[in-house]
Chain A
Amino acid sequence: MATKTVIPFGPQHPVLPEPVHLDLVLDDETVVEAVPQIGFIHRGLESLVDKRDYKRFVYVAERICGICSFGHSLGYSELVESLMGFQAPERAQYLRAIFHELSRIHSHVLWLGLAADAFGFESLFMHSWRLRERILDVFEACTGGRVILNFCEPGGIVRDVEATELDGIVDMLATWRGEYGQIANTFLNDSSVRSRLCGVGHLSREEVIEYGCVGPMARASGYANDIRLAGIGGYGHLAEFAPVTSDEGDCYARCKVRVEEVLQSVDIITELAGKIPEGPVFEDIKGKPADGAEAITRVEQPRGEAFYYAKGNGTMNLERFRVRTPTTTNIPGMAMALRGCDLADVPNIIMTIDPCISCTER
C-alpha cells in the first residue's frame, strides 16, 4: 500500500517567474492531484477606478500585466469607447492591431524561452530572448517603452507611426523571420525537445471545452476559438487569417501552436502595414459615462480570451471595472492536465499553459 506524499511547489520556485503555489499530491512519482493556490500578487487594482478618472485609468489597466500590457490597454480603450458610443479613427484601429500582433510575437517568443528553460534547454532560452529583444527595439523606437508602452488610450493611439517606420518594421520582421525559423525548427524537430514534450499533459477536445480553456491551450486540443475572428473585439475584418490549431492536445501541440502563431502574426502585420489608411490617429472623447451605462468587450490576448466589463455612474469615475483574464480560465485545465503526470513533467505542464499570474490576480 503506497503512501501519499504532498509536495509544495512554489510560490518561490526556479521555474516560475511569478509566484503561484501548488500542492502536489504524489503516489510514488506520479501526481494524483494538484491543488492550486493563488493570491500572492493580488493588488486589487480594479478598485482604483474610484481614484482615477476613466481616461487616466488606462495607465493602471495597462499595468494589469507587464507581458500583455498593450493588450490590456487595448481592451480598456475599446471598453471605454464602447461605453461612450465612440469609434476610434480607422488608422488607429489598424495601428492597434499591428501593435497587438507585435506584442503577441514578443509574448510568444518570451514564452518559448521560458518553456525551453523549464525543460532544461538553456541555450534555446537565450536565443529566444535574443530574438525577443529585436521586437522590444521596435516598441522602444515607436513608443519609448520596452514593456509598458502607454501607447493606446481611449480615443485612439497617442502617437502616429509614420509610413517609413511601418516599412522599417516590415523589413525588420522579414529578416527576423529567417532567424526565428532556426529556433522554431529546434522547438519542433529536436529529438530532446520532443522527448520532453510529446504525450505529456494531454487534454482532449471535450476536456478543454468542459474546463473552459481558452487561447493556444484550447487551440492545441483542436478547439478553434480565436476571439480575433469572432465578433466584438476582433479584427478579422481588417486582415485575413484562420486560427492555428493542432489535434494532439499535449505539451508539444501547445508549443507548436505558439510557434506557428508567431509566423501568423508576422503575416498579419505585413498585410495590415500594406493597406493601412491615412488619417488622424487620436480623437478626444468628451463627456462622462452615463449613469448605469454598461459595456463589455473581449480581446484575444497572447494567452487567450480576456473579457472586460465596465459600468458608469454619471461621474468621471467608473462604478465598476472588471477583467477576466485567460490564465484564470486555464488554471482548472492545468490542474486536470497535471493529474497522472510524472513529477519531473510538472514544470513543463505548468509552463505550457503560459501562466500569467499577474493577469489572474490583478
Chain B
Amino acid sequence: MSVMDKIASSKRESFITNSPWIIHYDAASCNGCDIEVLASLTPLFDVERFGVVNTGNPRHADIFLVTGSVNEQCKPVIEQIYNQMVEPKVVVACGICACSGGVFKQCYNTMGGIDQVIPVDVYVPGCAVRPQALIDGVVKAIGILRAKREAMLDGKPVPTPALRVGAELEVVRHSPDDEPAPTGADASDAAKETK
C-alpha cells in the first residue's frame, strides 16, 4: 500500500464511526424507553465500551435517539434538535411508540411515530425497548453513519430516508395460508393423510 493510499484509507476511517456520540430526547413517551436508553449507558450494558458517549449538545451528536409518539408541542423541538445536528447524522426511533405511535396511536394528541416529523433511519420496536435491542439498533446506526460519511467523502448526496407523513407502518400478519410446510414427523403424518 502506497503512502497516498494509506492517507486515503485513514481519511475513510473516522472517529465518528468508531466513537459515535448520541443525544436522547423524549418526545411524548411514557418514560419506560427513556430509562432503558439511560440503562444501556450504565454498567450492566455499558455501551461506552464501544465508544458510545451520551451528550446533551445536538452539535456534538452523531446519533439521535428519539422515544415516544410525537405531539404538536414537541414537534418543533425535535425538528430543531435534528436541524442543529451536523451531517452525517442518523436517527434511531426507540420503542414502538416512536416507530408507529404504539399504544397511544389512538390518542387525540399524538401524531404517531417520529417519522411523521423527521426522517428515521433505524426502527427499534419494543414496549419498553430492551437495552439489548437498543444496542443492536445503535450498531446498525453506526453502519448507516459510515455509509453516509462515505457518500459525503465521494461528493454524492447523503442518502436520507423519506418522511412517512400519514403513512401506516407496515404490519406483517401471518395468515394460516402462509404457514410453512410441515417438517419431520409432522410431514410424514401429513403425507399419510393425503394418501
Contacts and interface: CB of A to CB of B under 8 A. Distances in A.
Interface of A: 11-15, 17-19, 39-45, 47-48, 51, 59-60, 63-67, 69, 110, 113, 125-127, 129-130, 132-133, 136, 145-148, 356-358
Contacts of B128: 66, 145-148
A146 B36 contact: yes
B42 A42 contact: no
B153 interface: no
Contacts of B188: none
B81 to A, nearest CB: 6
Nearest to B56: A14
Interface in B57-93: 57-58, 68-69, 71, 73-74, 77, 81
B184 interface: no
A212 B167 CA distance: 45
Interface in B21-70: 25-36, 38-39, 42-44, 55-58, 68-69
Contacts of A47: 107-108
B31 A66 contact: yes
A33 B156 CA distance: 51
Given A43-B107, A145-B128, 10 more contacts: A13-B56, A15-B56, A17-B38, A19-B27, A45-B104, A47-B108, A60-B103, A63-B104, A148-B127, A358-B30
Contact of A66 (B32, B73, B77, B106): B32
B77 A40 contact: yes
Lowest 3 CB-CB distances: which A-B pairs, in order? A66-B32, A14-B56, A129-B42
Contact of A67 (B31, B42, B69, B108): B31
B109 interface: yes
Nearest to A130: B43
A48 B106 contact: yes
A43 B43 contact: no
A132 B39 CA distance: 9
B43 A42 contact: no
B26 A130 contact: no
Interface string B110-141: 10000000000000000110100000000000
Contacts of A146: 36, 128, 130
A69 to B, nearest CB: 7
A42 B106 CA distance: 13
A189 B180 CA distance: 63
B35 to A, nearest CB: 6
B43 A126 contact: yes
A43 B31 contact: no
Contacts of B56: 12-15
Nearest to B110: A43
A72 to B, nearest CB: 10
Contacts of A14: 55-57
A12 B55 CA distance: 11
B26 A18 contact: yes
B42 A44 contact: no
A152 to B, nearest CB: 16
B107 A66 contact: no
8 contacts: A43-B104, A43-B107, A47-B107, A64-B30, A66-B32, A69-B30, A133-B43, A356-B31
A147 B109 CA distance: 24
Nearest to A140: B130
A357 to B, nearest CB: 8
Contact of A42 (B31, B73, B77): B73
Q: Which of B43, B55, B103 has the most CB atoms of chain A within a 10 A radius of its CB?
A: B103
A62 to B, nearest CB: 9
A59 B127 CA distance: 11
Contacts of A19: 25-27, 74, 77
A316 B192 CA distance: 49
Contact of B108 (A41, A44, A110): A44
A11 B103 CA distance: 24
B105 to A, nearest CB: 10
